[in-house]
Amino acid sequence: MGASKFTGNDIDSLIPIMNRRHFLQTSSGAAAGGFTLPNLHAANAAEAEIILGKAEHCVMLWLGGGMSQIDTFDPKTRGDAKEKKSGSYYDSIDTAVQGVKICEHLPKTARHMEQITAVRSLHHEVVDEHAAATNRMHTGRPTSGAVRYPSLGSIIASQRGAAAEGVPAYVLMGYPNLTRGAGFLGPAANFIYLTDLKAGPAGLARPDSISSERVSRREKLLSTVRHGGAKRFGNDKKFADYDAAIQESLRLSGPDFMKAFQLEDEPADLRNSYGSEFGQRCLLARRLFQSGVRFVEISYSDNFKNGTGWDTHNKGQLKQHLLIQDLDAALSTLMTDLQSHNLLDKTVILINSEFGRPGGFDSGGGRGHQSKCFTSVIAGGGLNHKGAWGMTDEVSESVVENPVTVSDYFATALAAMQIDPSENLYDGDRPVPITDGGKPIAQLF
């Protein structure tokens, strides 16, 4: 018996089980009698299938300003800033993956490329606005006046929680802002943060001038205030959230969690291998993962080395190699260190910037902004790494193969962390897709 054919009257019954893009594609075929019910179900099943990874932790290395992909992970023929000849500022070197080259100032990272994928075909449309592009690369969404979307860290914190009792799910090493925050997910999915490794988390580390007895008296007074507040505002959500935040702060300021910040307990040789302040932050991330923290964001903290950080306009380009060398030491040591603790396959490492740079040079010998084509990196996490994914033109200014949207990149990271990127979050009672239609890079799974 032949397969049943669809007529125009059957289309309405299909709409609930198809997404908009799929509906538009398949409805045109229906009008011509071009598909059957079994074929449609098979297509839906194939599209719905998402393979999840097995990672338990995630660290995002944030290179604020805009890492130049053509000078790091997507090198091209050597250019000349003085002659305004487009191309890479540095020579390229071979890596552990045949056919994949990266910048000469990443020699240690080159040896790890079998556990790394440089996503060279990433793109979005925000070019000259650092804040908006930073928001895009933290939330995966355009800025919105109506909705405060959560950051990737907060999404992972809300979906996976901490990996152990007595620790936060999300730690930020850098300055706090709304872009890095929980958005509509609320305080439970937010970060604790630190800007100084020696001082520890803001509001949690006890100053040496405050004795244990004084702390105990303060806690007793606070307990009285909280008890009174609960009686008076017991049904108020804002009070409940505030009280929960106080309880979390008290819990995290205890000695067990604070031990993770004692980097002096690590061997001196290892601390030296990590290198700069940025590298020490990466070392702390490994210790935080061992304590049970789920997600860590590390902002690059040594921008003074070239005067501009990764935003390499004008003379910032001249000493950009110092930043790249910092990244090389920190990333390669982190990967080796995680491997030695059996954590590399359990930890997704992301290297992100708000956008990249064009292959050409500006009037001052540096590079402008570019978002139509740039590179982010995903490493570790037990993925099927390729060394590189996607291809760009001869000056890294156009994507020519395997384009990846920011939503796709986020979906890949989430899937690696055992989170289904096709599921919904909830803003109150309103369902909000975790990603903006993103699909994981299937070849990495």
Distance CA 293, CA 259 (A): 13
* 391 & 410 share domain: yes
Short-list 98, 103, 96, CA closest to 78? 103
* 87 & 18 share domain: no
175 contact partners, CB below 8 Å, separation of at least 6: 193, 195, 299
Distance CA 412, CA 350 (A): 11
* 384 & 248 share domain: no
* 31 & 147 share domain: no
Half-sphere exposure of residue 307: CA atoms within 13 angstroms, side-chain side: 9
Residue 56 contacts residue 347 (beta carbons within 8 Å): yes
Any idea what the CATH number is for the domain that residue 423 is in? 3.40.720
The last residue of one of the domains, among 193, 223, 252, is 252
- Strands 424-427 vs 430-433: parallel, antiparallel or unpaired: antiparallel
Give the global pTM.
Answer: 0.84
* 311 & 190 share domain: yes
430 contact partners, CB below 8 Å, separation of at least 6: none
Number of C-beta neighbours around residue 102 at 10 A: 28
Backbone angles phi, psi at 287, to 5 degrees: -65, -35
Distance CA 14, CA 47 (A): 15
* 215 & 330 share domain: no
Q: How confident is the model at residue 288 (pLDDT cuts 50, 70, 90)?
A: very high
- What does the block give as tokens for 127? 């070019």
* 417 & 285 share domain: yes
Residue 355 belongs to a domain: yes
What is the SS3 assignment for 113? helix
Number of C-beta neighbours around residue 112 at 10 A: 22
Residue 257 belongs to a domain: no
* 225 & 200 share domain: no
Residue 109 belongs to a domain: yes
Residue 327 belongs to a domain: yes
Burial class (CB in 10 A: 0-12, 13-18, 19+), 128: exposed
User: pLDDT tens-digit profile of 329-341?
Assistant: 999 999 999 999 9
CA distances from 399 to 1, 124, 378 (A): 48, 12, 18
Residue 169 belongs to a domain: yes
* 107 & 73 share domain: yes
User: pLDDT tens-digit profile of 137-186?
Assistant: 999 999 888 899 999 999 999 999 999 998 999 999 999 999 999 999 99
Residue 258 belongs to a domain: no
Q: How confident is the model at residue 392 (pLDDT cuts 50, 70, 90)?
A: very high
Least confident span in 181-185, 212-216, 318-322, 418-422: 212-216
Residue 387 contacts residue 117 (beta carbons within 8 Å): yes
Total domains in the fold of the chain = 3
Short-list 56, 68, 149, CA closest to 103? 68
Residue 1 belongs to a domain: no
User: pLDDT tens-digit profile of 38-81?
Assistant: 554 444 544 558 899 999 999 999 999 999 999 999 999 999 99
* 320 & 173 share domain: yes
* 88 & 147 share domain: yes
Could you list the residue range(s) of the whole structural domain that residue 210 is in? 206-252
- What does the block give as tokens for 86? 């487009």
Q: How confident is the model at residue 383 (pLDDT cuts 50, 70, 90)?
A: very high
pLDDT, averaged across the chain: 88
* 296 & 148 share domain: yes
Distance CA 142, CA 127 (A): 12
Residue 2 belongs to a domain: no
